[in-house]
Structure 1
Amino acid sequence: MSVPLYQLPEQQPSVWQPTSVEEAMQLKHKWGDNSVLISGGTWLRTRWENGLSSPPQHLISLARIPALAGLTIDNLGHVHIGPALCLADLMDNELMRQRCGLLVQACSEIAAPSVRNLSSIGGNVMTRTGDLIPVLLVMDAQVVWSDGQKERELPLKEWLEGPHFTSYEMMTRIVVPTSEPEQVSAEMADKGHSYEFYLKVGRREAFTPSVVTVAGSLRIEADGTLAAIALSAGGGSAVPARFKELEDAVTGKLLSKEVLQTLHKGVSDDFDAVADDYAGVAYRKMTAANLIVSECYKAWRKGGGAYAPRS
């Protein structure tokens, strides 16, 4: 069993450094609600400093558990991301750039380099409002949890929608289905094209809560048919979500002005925005709808199908 790395002055937490998931969960069971599992700690520290929550008596650091900072790809082409990986390391990884380019882009738009050197992808997800979540939702990411003895895998979408997590479990992997990077060729162009996007709107570029964050992925056939679409939105205190019913309603249709209007109304109606000191609900809904439809319009024009606008 670990011993405290050091004991801070009175009323400050003890810091523990387990070397395995099993050991970390033993410590969590021992200290219970008086402890917190911590990786980069950037979000938690902000909450403590702003008085939104109190520091616990014990911090259980995940820094010395190698399995939580790994990055691998399985024989199905799924990328397994350790939740303790910092955003800067994800951005610098060649596998991530090739297979998960949209996620790399999203990482680059969070805070500043000094923060990205500490912030972990798992911590961003654990906030339930992180700006990486819309991208992970569009990518159909799964999250793997462990109680120290056994693991279970759950779609990120389901975890966000309900109480599928207890304080005596920890995230051990984020699994992202991917495929081989496409080779641009005339033959592929004849079969259609793919388009993906990530946009974050805030009052300034960094160090401020996002007003709206959207992500999307489209597959458009050569004739303009919308073969597949995935859309999500979040921002501020809103829990990001996919627009599954809306996606199903437009899939298989020719991308057209009418479909874009359907998408705009659907996003505006279904986005569960939350007001704060930065912006109201109506503004966030309209912004999310405008951003998503603007990107879908770009994808439409890029395809150059029979019904795509020429100017």
Structure 2
Amino acid sequence: MSVPMYQLPEQLPSVWQPTSVEEAIQLKHKWGSDAVIVAGGTWLRTRWENGLAPMPQHFISLGRILALSGLTVNAQGKVHIGPGLSIADLMKNELVQQKCALLVQACSEIAAPSIRNLASIGGNVMTRTGDLIPALLVMDAQIQGTDGQNERIMALKDWLAAPLGAEDEIMTNIIVQTEIVKEAGILHEFYLKVGRREAFTPSVVTVAGRISLLADGTIADIALAVGGGNAIPARLSALEAEMRGKPLSKAGLQHLHKGVMADFNAVTDDYAGVAYRKQTAANLIVSECYKAWRKGGGAYASQS
């Protein structure tokens, strides 16, 4: 698909290729609302093609800023992922494969291989509805950004809940914790995306989770995130707090289902309504938690 001629600006866009974050921010200051900062550009392109946003007069490409495409691990075991790193390159990274299996699985569910070769992990997060976000939320991801003078780090869940930041702020790192404290028992992680066809489809519902059960079936820890469509993904923090320290029983699974239905802030669109999205998200999450329960033998216990 290409942009129709009548949608093109009178003057063809200029492309700027800064080699530092500071230079990119200076260019954004210079051109203001007439410029857009671009990494892979796959999501932005669909907006221009569908007439959802005008094509800007200036593209500020982040492609030559090498620091935004790196991947490092600090002494605390946290992985710093450059937001300019393509989804395909992230999937192929051996460290990510070993330490961030949930994130790799999420990447594999996004678009087609040709799109993953271009699309950046930062771009997916910047949309605020990207399919990587539920997995990153479960991994307690943090966002690091700068406006050229001040730098800030905040939890992804807080970044999503806050008003949009300054347009000239650039994301410089996505930080994820890979060391999970596993007590004796079962640790089960999951990521599921539901769409109208098997591949290369907008998500109707996307869920991710991590549940840790003690040997007696008590929930030691649980993290749940849900999104899909135009809904901004979110952690189900209140429901998580209710479930921790309680046995995962039949009654617990029923409570979990009701909690997801109540807490998921779904949004209707042309693909599905709110009720369908809530029901689907609740079914998926309970199904995965049931798998963890079965691993621990809970499904065969005499009490339910």
Aligned to 1:225: 218
Task: Give the C-alpha shift of residue 165 in structure 1.
Answer: 1.5
Aligned to 1:255: 248
- The correspondence of residues 154-165 of structure 1 with structure 2, limited to 5 A, is 154-163=154-163, 165=165
Amino acid at match of 1:113: P
Q: Is the CA contact (8 Å cut-off) linking 1:140 and 1:155 kept in structure 2?
A: yes
- The correspondence of residues 280-291 of structure 1 with structure 2, limited to 5 A, is 280-291=273-284
Q: Secondary structure at the match of 2:204?
A: strand
Q: Secondary structure at the match of 1:40?
A: coil
Amino acid at match of 2:224: L
Q: Does 1:113 align with 2:113?
A: yes
Amino acid at match of 1:206: A
Residue 36 to residue 90, structure 1, CA distance change in 2 (3 Å):
same
Task: Give the C-alpha shift of residue 304 in structure 1.
Answer: 1.8
Separation of aligned partners in 2, 1:180 and 1:143? 19
Aligned to 2:268: 275
Aligned partner (choices 185, 188, 191) of residue 195 of structure 1: 188
TM-score (structure 1 length as normaliser): 0.92
Q: Is the CA contact (8 Å cut-off) linking 1:215 and 1:233 kept in structure 2?
A: yes
Aligned to 1:205: 198
Deviations 1:195-235 (A, max 9, x none): 00000000012332110000000111111010000001000
Aligned to 1:86: 86
Separation of aligned partners in 2, 1:262 and 1:307? 19
Name which of structure 1's ranges 113-122 and 207-216 shifts more when overlaid on structure 2.
207-216
Q: Does 1:299 align with 2:260?
A: no
- The correspondence of residues 1-311 of structure 1 with structure 2, limited to 5 A, is 10-163=10-163, 165-179=165-179, 191-305=184-298, 308=301
Task: Give the C-alpha shift of residue 151 in structure 1.
Answer: 1.2
Unaligned runs of 5+ in 1: 1-7, 183-187
Amino acid at match of 2:203: S
TM-score (structure 2 length as normaliser): 0.94
Q: Secondary structure at the match of 2:217?
A: coil
Q: Deviation above 6 Å: which 4+ runs of structure 1? A: none
Aligned to 1:185: none
Q: Is the CA contact (8 Å cut-off) linking 1:300 and 1:308 kept in structure 2?
A: no
Task: Give the C-alpha shift of residue 181 in structure 1.
Answer: 10
Residue 308 to residue 229, structure 1, CA distance change in 2 (3 Å):
farther
Amino acid at match of 2:133: I
Residue 306 to residue 208, structure 1, CA distance change in 2 (3 Å):
closer
Separation of aligned partners in 2, 1:213 and 1:122? 18
Amino acid at match of 1:287: T
Residue 223 to residue 306, structure 1, CA distance change in 2 (3 Å):
farther
Question: Pairwise CA RMSD of aligned residues?
Answer: 1.8
Separation of aligned partners in 2, 1:302 and 1:12? 59
Unaligned runs of 5+ in 2: 1-7
Residue 294 to residue 180, structure 1, CA distance change in 2 (3 Å):
closer
Q: Is the CA contact (8 Å cut-off) linking 1:81 and 1:175 kept in structure 2?
A: yes
Q: Secondary structure at the match of 1:201?
A: strand
Task: Give the C-alpha shift of residue 12 in structure 1.
Answer: 2.2
Task: Give the C-alpha shift of residue 299 in structure 1.
Answer: 0.6
Separation of aligned partners in 2, 1:206 and 1:29? 39
Amino acid at match of 1:209: P
Separation of aligned partners in 2, 1:288 and 1:90? 27
Aligned to 1:5: none
Deviations 1:153-198 (A, max 9, x none): 011001111115110201000000111798xxxxx7xx11200000
Name which of structure 1's ranges 198-207 and 77-86 shifts more when overlaid on structure 2.
198-207
Q: Secondary structure at the match of 1:176?
A: strand
Deviations 1:37-70 (A, max 9, x none): 0000000000000000011110000000011000
Percent same amino acid at aligned positions? 70
Aligned residues: 296
Deviations 1:222-257 (A, max 9, x none): 110100000010000000001000000010011101
